[in-house]
Amino acid sequence: MASETVSAAPPRRLSNAYQNWYRFSRNPTAVIGAAIVILSILAAILAPWITPHPDHVGAVVNFRARHLSPSAEYWFGTDNVGRDIFTRVIFGLRISLLLALVVLGTAIPIGVTLGLLAGYFGGWVEIVIMRLTDVALAIPPLVMALAVAAVLSPDLINSMLAIAALWWTWHTRLIYSITRQLRTQEFVEAAETLGASKFHILFREILPNCVSALAVKTSLDCGFVILVGASLSFLGLGIQPPTPDLGTMVASGSAFLPDYWWESVLPGCAILFVALGFNLLGDGLRDLFDVQEVR
Amino acid sequence: MSAMLEIVRLSKHFPVRNGFGRQTGEVRAVDDVSFSIEKGKVYGLAGESGSGKSTIARMIMGLTRPTSGDILLDGRNITGDTGTRAYGRKVQMVFQNPGSSLNPRRTVGQSIAVPLDAHGHPRSDRTRRIVELLEMVQLPAEFASRYPHELSGGQKQRVAIARALAVVPQLIVLDEPTSALDVSVQAKVMDLLVDLGRQLELTFLFISHDLSLMRNFAQQVGVLYLGKIVETGPTATVFENPQHDYTRLLLASVPVISAEEAAMRPVIPLIDGEIPTAEQLLALRNAGGPDSQRIEQ
Protein backbone atom coordinates (compact mmCIF):
# COMPACT_ATOMS: atom_id res chain seq x y z
CA MET A 1 0.00 0.00 0.00
CA ALA A 2 1.20 3.46 -0.84
CA SER A 3 0.26 4.91 2.51
CA GLU A 4 2.54 2.48 4.36
CA THR A 5 5.76 4.42 4.06
CA VAL A 6 8.62 3.73 6.40
CA SER A 7 9.05 6.67 8.70
CA ALA A 8 12.55 7.85 9.47
CA ALA A 9 11.58 9.15 12.88
CA PRO A 10 12.74 7.06 15.84
CA PRO A 11 10.04 4.59 16.85
CA ARG A 12 7.78 5.98 19.52
CA ARG A 13 7.71 3.85 22.61
CA LEU A 14 4.22 2.40 22.83
CA SER A 15 2.72 1.86 26.23
CA ASN A 16 2.41 -1.73 27.36
CA ALA A 17 -1.35 -1.36 27.68
CA TYR A 18 -1.58 -0.27 24.07
CA GLN A 19 0.69 -3.09 22.86
CA ASN A 20 -1.43 -5.63 24.68
CA TRP A 21 -4.63 -4.12 23.32
CA TYR A 22 -3.21 -4.23 19.80
CA ARG A 23 -2.30 -7.91 20.07
CA PHE A 24 -5.68 -8.64 21.63
CA SER A 25 -7.58 -6.85 18.85
CA ARG A 26 -5.75 -8.96 16.24
CA ASN A 27 -6.98 -12.20 17.76
CA PRO A 28 -10.48 -12.96 16.39
CA THR A 29 -11.22 -15.70 18.94
CA ALA A 30 -10.48 -13.44 21.86
CA VAL A 31 -12.42 -10.53 20.39
CA ILE A 32 -15.54 -12.61 19.66
CA GLY A 33 -15.34 -14.18 23.13
CA ALA A 34 -14.90 -10.81 24.80
CA ALA A 35 -17.81 -9.38 22.81
CA ILE A 36 -20.13 -12.21 23.88
CA VAL A 37 -19.02 -11.91 27.51
CA ILE A 38 -19.43 -8.12 27.61
CA LEU A 39 -22.81 -8.35 25.84
CA SER A 40 -24.05 -10.95 28.34
CA ILE A 41 -22.86 -8.95 31.33
CA LEU A 42 -24.43 -5.73 30.02
CA ALA A 43 -27.68 -7.52 29.23
CA ALA A 44 -27.77 -8.99 32.73
CA ILE A 45 -27.10 -5.66 34.43
CA LEU A 46 -29.55 -3.70 32.27
CA ALA A 47 -32.20 -6.45 32.20
CA PRO A 48 -35.07 -4.41 33.74
CA TRP A 49 -34.67 -1.67 31.11
CA ILE A 50 -33.99 -3.61 27.93
CA THR A 51 -36.46 -6.48 28.21
CA PRO A 52 -39.94 -6.11 26.65
CA HIS A 53 -41.88 -7.57 29.62
CA PRO A 54 -39.87 -7.06 32.84
CA ASP A 55 -42.96 -7.89 34.93
CA HIS A 56 -42.89 -11.47 33.58
CA VAL A 57 -40.01 -12.22 35.93
CA GLY A 58 -42.39 -12.94 38.79
CA ALA A 59 -45.38 -15.23 39.14
CA VAL A 60 -47.42 -13.66 36.32
CA VAL A 61 -50.08 -15.80 34.72
CA ASN A 62 -51.61 -15.02 31.34
CA PHE A 63 -53.30 -18.15 30.01
CA ARG A 64 -54.44 -16.52 26.81
CA ALA A 65 -50.81 -16.12 25.75
CA ARG A 66 -49.44 -19.53 26.82
CA HIS A 67 -47.26 -21.64 24.49
CA LEU A 68 -47.04 -18.93 21.82
CA SER A 69 -44.31 -19.56 19.26
CA PRO A 70 -41.54 -16.97 18.70
CA SER A 71 -42.91 -13.78 17.14
CA ALA A 72 -42.19 -10.06 16.93
CA GLU A 73 -43.95 -9.53 20.27
CA TYR A 74 -42.41 -12.55 22.03
CA TRP A 75 -38.98 -13.09 20.49
CA PHE A 76 -38.40 -16.45 22.17
CA GLY A 77 -42.12 -17.35 22.46
CA THR A 78 -43.99 -17.81 25.73
CA ASP A 79 -43.98 -20.53 28.36
CA ASN A 80 -46.77 -22.67 29.81
CA VAL A 81 -48.22 -19.80 31.87
CA GLY A 82 -47.87 -17.18 29.14
CA ARG A 83 -44.69 -15.40 30.24
CA ASP A 84 -42.20 -13.95 27.71
CA ILE A 85 -39.25 -16.35 27.49
CA PHE A 86 -36.83 -13.73 26.11
CA THR A 87 -37.36 -11.55 29.19
CA ARG A 88 -36.84 -14.51 31.47
CA VAL A 89 -33.69 -15.63 29.63
CA ILE A 90 -32.10 -12.20 30.04
CA PHE A 91 -32.97 -12.18 33.74
CA GLY A 92 -31.74 -15.79 33.95
CA LEU A 93 -28.29 -14.61 32.83
CA ARG A 94 -28.11 -12.63 36.08
CA ILE A 95 -28.25 -15.80 38.15
CA SER A 96 -25.72 -17.63 35.95
CA LEU A 97 -23.22 -14.77 36.04
CA LEU A 98 -23.76 -14.18 39.75
CA LEU A 99 -23.01 -17.86 40.35
CA ALA A 100 -19.77 -17.63 38.36
CA LEU A 101 -18.79 -14.43 40.14
CA VAL A 102 -19.42 -15.74 43.65
CA VAL A 103 -17.91 -19.19 43.07
CA LEU A 104 -14.74 -17.89 41.42
CA GLY A 105 -14.61 -14.87 43.74
CA THR A 106 -14.25 -17.22 46.71
CA ALA A 107 -12.38 -20.07 45.01
CA ILE A 108 -9.61 -18.01 43.39
CA PRO A 109 -8.23 -16.14 46.45
CA ILE A 110 -8.24 -19.37 48.47
CA GLY A 111 -6.81 -21.53 45.69
CA VAL A 112 -4.13 -19.04 44.69
CA THR A 113 -2.95 -18.44 48.25
CA LEU A 114 -2.73 -22.16 49.01
CA GLY A 115 -0.94 -22.81 45.69
CA LEU A 116 1.63 -20.10 46.39
CA LEU A 117 2.26 -21.38 49.92
CA ALA A 118 2.59 -25.03 48.82
CA GLY A 119 4.83 -24.20 45.86
CA TYR A 120 7.12 -21.79 47.65
CA PHE A 121 7.62 -23.37 51.06
CA GLY A 122 7.55 -27.05 50.06
CA GLY A 123 8.09 -29.58 52.84
CA TRP A 124 5.17 -30.39 55.13
CA VAL A 125 3.24 -27.29 54.00
CA GLU A 126 3.25 -28.69 50.48
CA ILE A 127 2.34 -32.20 51.64
CA VAL A 128 -0.66 -31.03 53.70
CA ILE A 129 -2.03 -28.64 51.07
CA MET A 130 -1.50 -30.85 48.04
CA ARG A 131 -2.94 -34.00 49.66
CA LEU A 132 -5.98 -31.97 50.74
CA THR A 133 -6.27 -30.79 47.14
CA ASP A 134 -6.12 -34.36 45.85
CA VAL A 135 -8.94 -35.37 48.19
CA ALA A 136 -11.10 -32.44 47.12
CA LEU A 137 -10.36 -33.12 43.44
CA ALA A 138 -11.70 -36.63 43.79
CA ILE A 139 -15.23 -35.37 44.54
CA PRO A 140 -17.24 -34.23 41.48
CA PRO A 141 -18.76 -30.76 42.12
CA LEU A 142 -22.20 -31.91 41.03
CA VAL A 143 -22.19 -34.77 43.55
CA MET A 144 -20.97 -32.42 46.27
CA ALA A 145 -23.76 -29.96 45.44
CA LEU A 146 -26.33 -32.77 45.53
CA ALA A 147 -25.06 -33.86 48.93
CA VAL A 148 -25.10 -30.33 50.33
CA ALA A 149 -28.59 -29.74 48.94
CA ALA A 150 -29.77 -32.98 50.55
CA VAL A 151 -28.30 -32.11 53.95
CA LEU A 152 -29.16 -28.40 53.96
CA SER A 153 -31.80 -27.02 51.60
CA PRO A 154 -31.79 -26.83 47.80
CA ASP A 155 -31.15 -23.16 47.11
CA LEU A 156 -28.74 -20.93 45.27
CA ILE A 157 -26.51 -20.03 48.22
CA ASN A 158 -25.95 -23.66 49.14
CA SER A 159 -25.11 -24.75 45.62
CA MET A 160 -22.69 -21.82 45.28
CA LEU A 161 -20.97 -22.83 48.51
CA ALA A 162 -20.81 -26.47 47.44
CA ILE A 163 -19.19 -25.63 44.09
CA ALA A 164 -16.81 -23.07 45.60
CA ALA A 165 -15.75 -25.55 48.28
CA LEU A 166 -14.31 -27.78 45.54
CA TRP A 167 -13.37 -25.35 42.81
CA TRP A 168 -10.33 -23.83 44.56
CA THR A 169 -8.41 -27.09 44.02
CA TRP A 170 -7.89 -26.38 40.30
CA HIS A 171 -6.39 -23.00 41.05
CA THR A 172 -4.22 -24.45 43.79
CA ARG A 173 -2.75 -27.01 41.41
CA LEU A 174 -2.18 -24.47 38.66
CA ILE A 175 -0.50 -21.88 40.88
CA TYR A 176 1.45 -24.58 42.73
CA SER A 177 3.06 -25.85 39.54
CA ILE A 178 3.99 -22.36 38.36
CA THR A 179 5.37 -21.40 41.78
CA ARG A 180 7.48 -24.55 41.87
CA GLN A 181 9.15 -23.46 38.64
CA LEU A 182 9.59 -19.85 39.71
CA ARG A 183 10.90 -20.61 43.21
CA THR A 184 14.39 -21.39 41.94
CA GLN A 185 14.48 -18.53 39.44
CA GLU A 186 17.18 -15.95 40.06
CA PHE A 187 14.76 -13.07 40.50
CA VAL A 188 13.14 -14.84 43.45
CA GLU A 189 16.56 -15.55 44.98
CA ALA A 190 17.56 -11.96 44.27
CA ALA A 191 14.50 -10.74 46.18
CA GLU A 192 15.48 -13.03 49.08
CA THR A 193 19.01 -11.65 49.23
CA LEU A 194 17.64 -8.10 49.01
CA GLY A 195 15.76 -8.74 52.24
CA ALA A 196 12.22 -8.85 50.85
CA SER A 197 9.54 -10.35 53.10
CA LYS A 198 7.91 -13.69 52.31
CA PHE A 199 4.65 -11.82 51.68
CA HIS A 200 6.40 -9.62 49.13
CA ILE A 201 8.01 -12.59 47.40
CA LEU A 202 4.76 -14.55 47.18
CA PHE A 203 2.36 -11.80 46.16
CA ARG A 204 4.56 -9.23 44.44
CA GLU A 205 7.26 -11.32 42.76
CA ILE A 206 5.65 -14.70 42.03
CA LEU A 207 1.94 -13.84 41.68
CA PRO A 208 2.39 -11.30 38.83
CA ASN A 209 4.03 -14.11 36.86
CA CYS A 210 0.95 -16.29 37.35
CA VAL A 211 -1.54 -13.70 36.13
CA SER A 212 -1.61 -14.78 32.49
CA ALA A 213 -2.26 -18.43 33.36
CA LEU A 214 -4.80 -17.35 35.96
CA ALA A 215 -6.68 -15.13 33.50
CA VAL A 216 -6.98 -17.98 30.99
CA LYS A 217 -8.07 -20.43 33.67
CA THR A 218 -10.61 -18.03 35.17
CA SER A 219 -12.19 -17.27 31.84
CA LEU A 220 -12.53 -20.96 30.96
CA ASP A 221 -13.80 -21.66 34.48
CA CYS A 222 -16.60 -19.11 34.18
CA GLY A 223 -18.02 -21.21 31.34
CA PHE A 224 -17.71 -24.43 33.34
CA VAL A 225 -19.24 -22.96 36.51
CA ILE A 226 -22.19 -21.65 34.51
CA LEU A 227 -22.70 -25.13 33.04
CA VAL A 228 -22.49 -26.78 36.46
CA GLY A 229 -24.91 -24.18 37.84
CA ALA A 230 -27.33 -24.83 34.98
CA SER A 231 -27.09 -28.60 35.61
CA LEU A 232 -27.89 -28.04 39.28
CA SER A 233 -30.94 -25.91 38.60
CA PHE A 234 -32.03 -28.35 35.88
CA LEU A 235 -32.12 -30.91 38.68
CA GLY A 236 -34.06 -28.47 40.83
CA LEU A 237 -31.22 -27.64 43.22
CA GLY A 238 -30.56 -24.08 42.16
CA ILE A 239 -32.60 -20.96 42.72
CA GLN A 240 -36.28 -21.75 43.24
CA PRO A 241 -39.16 -20.58 40.98
CA PRO A 242 -40.57 -18.12 40.08
CA THR A 243 -37.15 -16.38 39.83
CA PRO A 244 -36.00 -17.08 36.25
CA ASP A 245 -33.00 -19.35 35.83
CA LEU A 246 -31.72 -20.84 32.58
CA GLY A 247 -31.33 -24.39 33.89
CA THR A 248 -34.78 -24.35 35.51
CA MET A 249 -36.34 -23.06 32.29
CA VAL A 250 -34.77 -25.86 30.25
CA ALA A 251 -36.11 -28.38 32.78
CA SER A 252 -39.68 -27.04 32.87
CA GLY A 253 -39.76 -26.50 29.10
CA SER A 254 -38.63 -30.07 28.42
CA ALA A 255 -42.06 -31.29 29.55
CA PHE A 256 -43.51 -29.74 26.39
CA LEU A 257 -40.99 -31.08 23.89
CA PRO A 258 -41.11 -31.38 20.94
CA ASP A 259 -44.27 -29.34 20.23
CA TYR A 260 -43.26 -26.21 22.14
CA TRP A 261 -39.53 -26.66 21.54
CA TRP A 262 -38.64 -22.99 22.09
CA GLU A 263 -39.44 -23.28 25.81
CA SER A 264 -36.39 -25.44 26.50
CA VAL A 265 -34.19 -25.07 23.40
CA LEU A 266 -33.88 -21.29 23.46
CA PRO A 267 -32.88 -21.00 27.16
CA GLY A 268 -30.48 -23.88 26.43
CA CYS A 269 -29.00 -21.85 23.58
CA ALA A 270 -28.52 -18.95 25.99
CA ILE A 271 -26.46 -21.20 28.30
CA LEU A 272 -24.45 -22.36 25.30
CA PHE A 273 -23.93 -18.78 24.15
CA VAL A 274 -22.54 -17.54 27.48
CA ALA A 275 -20.39 -20.62 28.11
CA LEU A 276 -19.05 -20.41 24.55
CA GLY A 277 -18.22 -16.73 25.04
CA PHE A 278 -16.13 -17.43 28.12
CA ASN A 279 -14.41 -20.37 26.44
CA LEU A 280 -13.53 -18.38 23.34
CA LEU A 281 -12.20 -15.58 25.52
CA GLY A 282 -10.12 -18.06 27.52
CA ASP A 283 -8.70 -19.69 24.40
CA GLY A 284 -8.00 -16.30 22.88
CA LEU A 285 -6.20 -15.13 26.01
CA ARG A 286 -4.15 -18.31 26.02
CA ASP A 287 -3.02 -17.71 22.43
CA LEU A 288 -2.20 -14.15 23.36
CA PHE A 289 -0.13 -15.06 26.40
CA ASP A 290 1.61 -17.92 24.58
CA VAL A 291 2.87 -15.43 22.03
CA GLN A 292 4.11 -13.24 24.84
CA GLU A 293 5.98 -16.10 26.48
CA VAL A 294 7.76 -16.86 23.22
CA ARG A 295 8.66 -13.22 22.66
CA MET B 1 43.51 -2.50 56.84
CA SER B 2 41.24 -5.11 58.29
CA ALA B 3 39.48 -7.88 56.49
CA MET B 4 36.00 -7.10 55.17
CA LEU B 5 35.18 -10.72 54.52
CA GLU B 6 36.91 -13.72 55.94
CA ILE B 7 36.10 -17.25 54.87
CA VAL B 8 37.44 -19.85 57.29
CA ARG B 9 37.57 -23.54 56.38
CA LEU B 10 34.24 -23.33 54.57
CA SER B 11 32.77 -26.59 53.25
CA LYS B 12 29.58 -27.58 51.53
CA HIS B 13 28.85 -31.22 50.86
CA PHE B 14 25.76 -32.31 48.98
CA PRO B 15 24.54 -35.82 49.75
CA VAL B 16 24.06 -38.16 46.81
CA ARG B 17 21.05 -40.41 47.27
CA ASN B 18 19.98 -43.47 45.37
CA GLY B 19 16.44 -44.16 44.18
CA PHE B 20 15.36 -45.26 47.65
CA GLY B 21 16.56 -42.07 49.31
CA ARG B 22 19.57 -43.70 50.97
CA GLN B 23 22.72 -41.71 51.01
CA THR B 24 25.30 -43.38 48.81
CA GLY B 25 27.95 -40.68 48.80
CA GLU B 26 28.48 -36.98 48.74
CA VAL B 27 29.63 -34.28 46.39
CA ARG B 28 32.18 -31.97 47.94
CA ALA B 29 31.13 -28.80 46.13
CA VAL B 30 33.22 -26.63 48.40
CA ASP B 31 35.94 -28.31 50.42
CA ASP B 32 37.82 -26.55 53.21
CA VAL B 33 38.11 -23.18 51.50
CA SER B 34 39.71 -20.23 53.31
CA PHE B 35 40.45 -16.74 52.03
CA SER B 36 39.95 -13.17 53.11
CA ILE B 37 39.29 -9.85 51.39
CA GLU B 38 40.70 -6.57 52.64
CA LYS B 39 38.36 -3.59 52.86
CA GLY B 40 38.06 -1.77 49.56
CA LYS B 41 39.86 -4.50 47.60
CA VAL B 42 38.74 -6.81 44.84
CA TYR B 43 39.22 -10.54 45.30
CA GLY B 44 38.86 -12.66 42.21
CA LEU B 45 37.67 -16.22 42.49
CA ALA B 46 38.46 -18.15 39.31
CA GLY B 47 37.51 -21.62 38.24
CA GLU B 48 35.59 -23.57 35.62
CA SER B 49 31.90 -24.38 35.89
CA GLY B 50 31.25 -26.86 38.69
CA SER B 51 34.31 -25.80 40.65
CA GLY B 52 32.16 -24.45 43.51
CA LYS B 53 32.40 -20.73 42.76
CA SER B 54 28.68 -20.10 42.82
CA THR B 55 28.16 -22.29 45.87
CA ILE B 56 30.55 -20.07 47.80
CA ALA B 57 28.60 -17.00 46.64
CA ARG B 58 25.32 -18.59 47.66
CA MET B 59 26.68 -19.43 51.11
CA ILE B 60 27.88 -15.86 51.61
CA MET B 61 24.42 -14.62 50.61
CA GLY B 62 22.69 -17.07 52.94
CA LEU B 63 20.92 -18.91 50.12
CA THR B 64 22.72 -22.15 50.99
CA ARG B 65 23.77 -23.31 54.45
CA PRO B 66 27.41 -24.33 54.79
CA THR B 67 28.16 -27.86 56.02
CA SER B 68 30.97 -26.50 58.17
CA GLY B 69 33.22 -23.49 58.49
CA ASP B 70 32.70 -19.83 59.22
CA ILE B 71 31.99 -16.70 57.25
CA LEU B 72 33.17 -13.55 59.04
CA LEU B 73 31.87 -10.23 57.83
CA ASP B 74 33.68 -7.21 59.23
CA GLY B 75 34.97 -9.43 62.02
CA ARG B 76 31.54 -10.81 62.96
CA ASN B 77 30.58 -14.42 62.37
CA ILE B 78 27.45 -14.43 60.25
CA THR B 79 27.12 -18.13 59.51
CA GLY B 80 24.13 -18.33 61.85
CA ASP B 81 22.29 -15.16 60.94
CA THR B 82 22.62 -14.79 57.19
CA GLY B 83 19.40 -13.42 55.81
CA THR B 84 18.78 -11.05 58.72
CA ARG B 85 18.17 -7.41 57.86
CA ALA B 86 21.33 -5.99 59.36
CA TYR B 87 23.33 -8.52 57.39
CA GLY B 88 21.45 -7.92 54.14
CA ARG B 89 22.34 -4.24 54.34
CA LYS B 90 26.03 -5.03 54.28
CA VAL B 91 26.24 -7.69 51.58
CA GLN B 92 24.56 -7.62 48.20
CA MET B 93 24.90 -9.72 45.11
CA VAL B 94 24.83 -9.16 41.37
CA PHE B 95 23.68 -12.31 39.63
CA GLN B 96 25.09 -13.89 36.53
CA ASN B 97 22.18 -13.49 34.17
CA PRO B 98 20.40 -10.15 34.32
CA GLY B 99 17.67 -11.63 32.13
CA SER B 100 16.52 -13.90 34.92
CA SER B 101 17.54 -11.92 38.01
CA LEU B 102 15.02 -9.17 37.22
CA ASN B 103 11.34 -10.04 37.53
CA PRO B 104 9.89 -9.86 33.99
CA ARG B 105 6.54 -8.60 35.30
CA ARG B 106 7.88 -5.74 37.39
CA THR B 107 9.18 -2.41 36.18
CA VAL B 108 12.77 -1.36 36.76
CA GLY B 109 11.59 1.12 39.39
CA GLN B 110 9.61 -1.55 41.21
CA SER B 111 12.60 -3.90 41.19
CA ILE B 112 14.93 -1.25 42.61
CA ALA B 113 12.33 -0.35 45.25
CA VAL B 114 12.40 -3.90 46.70
CA PRO B 115 15.54 -3.45 48.85
CA LEU B 116 14.50 0.11 49.75
CA ASP B 117 11.17 -1.08 51.13
CA ALA B 118 12.69 -4.14 52.77
CA HIS B 119 15.16 -2.01 54.70
CA GLY B 120 12.72 0.68 55.74
CA HIS B 121 13.74 3.46 53.39
CA PRO B 122 11.13 6.27 53.78
CA ARG B 123 8.43 5.97 51.13
CA SER B 124 8.35 9.69 50.39
CA ASP B 125 12.01 9.57 49.35
CA ARG B 126 11.70 6.44 47.22
CA THR B 127 11.29 8.02 43.78
CA ARG B 128 14.21 10.39 44.36
CA ARG B 129 16.45 7.51 45.49
CA ILE B 130 15.51 5.37 42.46
CA VAL B 131 16.44 8.20 40.09
CA GLU B 132 19.69 8.72 42.02
CA LEU B 133 20.56 5.02 41.76
CA LEU B 134 19.78 4.94 38.04
CA GLU B 135 22.08 7.94 37.59
CA MET B 136 24.83 6.13 39.45
CA VAL B 137 24.71 3.34 36.88
CA GLN B 138 24.41 5.86 34.05
CA LEU B 139 20.84 5.14 33.06
CA PRO B 140 18.23 7.84 32.37
CA ALA B 141 15.52 8.36 35.00
CA GLU B 142 12.66 7.37 32.68
CA PHE B 143 13.95 3.79 32.69
CA ALA B 144 12.19 3.40 36.04
CA SER B 145 8.88 2.81 34.27
CA ARG B 146 10.24 0.29 31.76
CA TYR B 147 10.00 -3.47 31.89
CA PRO B 148 13.11 -5.68 31.65
CA HIS B 149 12.17 -6.94 28.16
CA GLU B 150 12.48 -3.38 26.87
CA LEU B 151 16.14 -3.22 27.99
CA SER B 152 19.34 -4.59 26.50
CA GLY B 153 21.48 -7.07 28.43
CA GLY B 154 23.95 -4.42 29.53
CA GLN B 155 21.16 -2.09 30.65
CA LYS B 156 19.56 -4.91 32.62
CA GLN B 157 22.83 -5.66 34.38
CA ARG B 158 23.17 -1.95 35.24
CA VAL B 159 19.71 -2.10 36.79
CA ALA B 160 20.77 -5.18 38.78
CA ILE B 161 23.85 -3.25 39.98
CA ALA B 162 21.68 -0.26 40.95
CA ARG B 163 19.41 -2.60 42.90
CA ALA B 164 22.40 -4.10 44.73
CA LEU B 165 23.64 -0.60 45.62
CA ALA B 166 20.26 0.59 46.89
CA VAL B 167 20.90 -0.07 50.58
CA VAL B 168 24.55 1.11 50.51
CA PRO B 169 26.26 -2.25 51.06
CA GLN B 170 29.92 -2.66 51.95
CA LEU B 171 30.55 -5.92 50.15
CA ILE B 172 29.19 -6.85 46.75
CA VAL B 173 29.37 -10.39 45.46
CA LEU B 174 29.64 -10.41 41.67
CA ASP B 175 28.73 -13.84 40.36
CA GLU B 176 29.97 -13.82 36.76
CA PRO B 177 28.43 -10.38 36.25
CA THR B 178 29.47 -10.09 32.63
CA SER B 179 29.37 -13.64 31.28
CA ALA B 180 25.87 -13.19 29.82
CA LEU B 181 26.85 -9.95 28.05
CA ASP B 182 28.44 -9.12 24.72
CA VAL B 183 32.17 -8.49 24.86
CA SER B 184 31.74 -4.82 23.93
CA VAL B 185 29.29 -4.35 26.78
CA GLN B 186 31.40 -6.34 29.27
CA ALA B 187 34.14 -3.72 29.36
CA LYS B 188 31.68 -0.91 30.01
CA VAL B 189 30.00 -2.77 32.85
CA MET B 190 33.41 -3.56 34.37
CA ASP B 191 34.45 0.10 34.10
CA LEU B 192 31.25 1.09 35.85
CA LEU B 193 31.95 -1.38 38.67
CA VAL B 194 35.50 -0.09 39.10
CA ASP B 195 34.25 3.51 39.27
CA LEU B 196 31.48 2.69 41.71
CA GLY B 197 33.86 0.67 43.84
CA ARG B 198 36.19 3.66 44.12
CA GLN B 199 33.41 6.19 44.78
CA LEU B 200 31.54 4.16 47.36
CA GLU B 201 34.56 2.37 48.88
CA LEU B 202 33.07 -1.01 48.04
CA THR B 203 34.70 -4.36 48.55
CA PHE B 204 34.13 -6.85 45.74
CA LEU B 205 34.19 -10.60 45.56
CA PHE B 206 34.50 -11.13 41.82
CA ILE B 207 33.62 -14.61 40.67
CA SER B 208 34.46 -15.47 37.09
CA HIS B 209 36.02 -17.92 34.71
CA ASP B 210 37.27 -15.04 32.57
CA LEU B 211 40.90 -14.60 33.56
CA SER B 212 41.59 -11.64 31.29
CA LEU B 213 38.86 -9.67 33.06
CA MET B 214 40.17 -10.78 36.41
CA ARG B 215 43.71 -9.75 35.60
CA ASN B 216 42.56 -6.14 35.16
CA PHE B 217 40.04 -6.00 37.94
CA ALA B 218 41.23 -8.03 40.95
CA GLN B 219 44.15 -7.40 43.28
CA GLN B 220 44.08 -10.89 44.77
CA VAL B 221 42.98 -14.09 43.12
CA GLY B 222 42.12 -17.54 44.27
CA VAL B 223 41.93 -20.43 41.82
CA LEU B 224 39.23 -22.89 42.68
CA TYR B 225 39.41 -26.44 41.40
CA LEU B 226 36.98 -29.19 42.41
CA GLY B 227 35.91 -27.23 45.48
CA LYS B 228 39.42 -26.48 46.74
CA ILE B 229 41.54 -23.37 46.40
CA VAL B 230 44.62 -24.68 44.62
CA GLU B 231 46.44 -21.39 44.31
CA THR B 232 46.05 -17.95 45.81
CA GLY B 233 48.00 -14.71 45.97
CA PRO B 234 48.37 -11.30 44.35
CA THR B 235 47.01 -11.30 40.81
CA ALA B 236 50.32 -10.46 39.13
CA THR B 237 52.21 -13.22 40.93
CA VAL B 238 49.67 -15.91 40.23
CA PHE B 239 49.24 -14.98 36.59
CA GLU B 240 52.91 -14.52 35.76
CA ASN B 241 54.20 -17.49 37.64
CA PRO B 242 51.42 -20.05 38.03
CA GLN B 243 52.36 -22.89 40.38
CA HIS B 244 49.48 -25.26 39.86
CA ASP B 245 48.72 -27.17 36.66
CA TYR B 246 45.11 -26.17 36.78
CA THR B 247 45.99 -22.48 36.90
CA ARG B 248 48.21 -23.01 33.86
CA LEU B 249 45.41 -24.73 32.05
CA LEU B 250 43.07 -21.85 32.79
CA LEU B 251 45.67 -19.34 31.64
CA ALA B 252 46.34 -21.33 28.50
CA SER B 253 42.65 -21.19 27.63
CA VAL B 254 42.57 -17.38 27.54
CA PRO B 255 42.52 -16.20 23.95
CA VAL B 256 45.43 -13.92 23.09
CA ILE B 257 46.05 -11.52 20.25
CA SER B 258 49.77 -10.61 20.16
CA ALA B 259 52.86 -12.79 19.87
CA GLU B 260 54.23 -11.48 23.18
CA GLU B 261 51.07 -12.55 24.95
CA ALA B 262 51.23 -15.93 23.26
CA ALA B 263 54.81 -16.36 24.45
CA MET B 264 53.75 -15.59 28.00
CA ARG B 265 51.15 -18.20 28.25
CA PRO B 266 51.95 -21.65 29.55
CA VAL B 267 52.28 -24.50 27.11
CA ILE B 268 49.79 -27.29 27.50
CA PRO B 269 50.20 -30.62 25.72
CA LEU B 270 47.32 -31.54 23.47
CA ILE B 271 45.65 -34.90 23.89
CA ASP B 272 44.24 -36.21 20.61
CA GLY B 273 44.48 -32.72 19.21
CA GLU B 274 42.37 -31.13 21.91
CA ILE B 275 43.14 -29.17 25.04
CA PRO B 276 42.91 -31.75 27.84
CA THR B 277 40.53 -31.50 30.73
CA ALA B 278 42.04 -30.66 34.10
CA GLU B 279 41.61 -34.26 35.21
CA GLN B 280 43.48 -35.59 32.19
CA LEU B 281 46.27 -33.09 32.69
CA LEU B 282 46.77 -33.90 36.35
CA ALA B 283 46.68 -37.63 35.65
CA LEU B 284 49.27 -37.15 32.94
CA ARG B 285 51.53 -35.25 35.26
CA ASN B 286 51.18 -37.75 38.09
CA ALA B 287 51.99 -40.58 35.72
CA GLY B 288 55.18 -38.72 34.75
CA GLY B 289 54.54 -39.30 31.08
CA PRO B 290 56.62 -37.98 28.21
CA ASP B 291 54.74 -34.69 28.16
CA SER B 292 55.35 -33.87 31.82
CA GLN B 293 58.54 -32.01 30.92
CA ARG B 294 56.62 -29.68 28.70
CA ILE B 295 54.05 -28.94 31.34
CA GLU B 296 56.70 -27.84 33.80
CA GLN B 297 58.12 -25.40 31.36
* Residue A132 domain flag: yes
* Residue A3 domain flag: no
* Residue A276 domain flag: yes
* pLDDT for A1: 42
Please say whether the beta carbons of A221 and A170 come within 8 A.
yes
* Residue A18 domain flag: no
pLDDT digits (tens, 9 = 90+) for B248-277: 777 777 766 666 666 666 666 666 666 667
* Residue A131 domain flag: yes
More confident residue, B74 or B157: B157
* pLDDT for A242: 75
Q: How many domains does chain A have?
A: 1
Task: Cite the DSSP H helix spans in B62-143.
Answer: 85-90, 98-101, 108-118, 126-136
A148 vs A161: CA distance, rounded Å: 9
Mean pLDDT of chain B: 82
* Residue A21 domain flag: no
pLDDT at B189 over 50: yes
More confident residue, B275 or A164: A164
* Residue A224 domain flag: yes
Residues of chain B contacting A197 with CB distance shorter than 8 Å:
118
* pLDDT for A72: 77
B interface test, pick of A187, A188, A207, A294 with most B CB neighbours within 10 Å: A187
A199 burial class (0-12, 13-18, 19+ CB within 10 angstroms)? exposed
Fold exhibited by the domain B3-241: Rossmann fold (3.40.50)
Q: Which 3 state secondary structure label does DSSP give B79? A: coil
Provide the CATH number for the domain around residue A106. 1.10.3720.10
A230 vs A179: CA distance, rounded Å: 34
* Residue A248 domain flag: yes
More confident residue, A113 or B86: A113
Mean pLDDT, range B53-76, rounded to an integer: 84
Mean pLDDT of chain A: 83
Domain span at residue A77?
A: 27-59+66-294
B interface test, pick of A23, A193, A291 with most B CB neighbours within 10 Å: A193
Please say whether the beta carbons of B70 and B10 come within 8 A.
yes
Say what percent of chain B tops pLDDT 90. 13
Mean pLDDT, range B5-17, rounded to an integer: 86
Please say whether the beta carbons of A84 and A60 come within 8 A.
no
B212 vs B255: CA distance, rounded Å: 9
pLDDT digits (tens, 9 = 90+) for A59-74: 777 777 777 777 777 7
Whether residue A208 and residue B101 make contact (CB cut-off 8 A), yes or no, is no
Q: What are phi and psi of B238, to 5 degrees?
A: -65, -40
- CB of A295 within 8 Å of any CB in chain B? yes
Domain boundaries, chain B: 3-241
Mean pLDDT, range A229-241, rounded to an integer: 80
pTM, two decimals, is 0.79
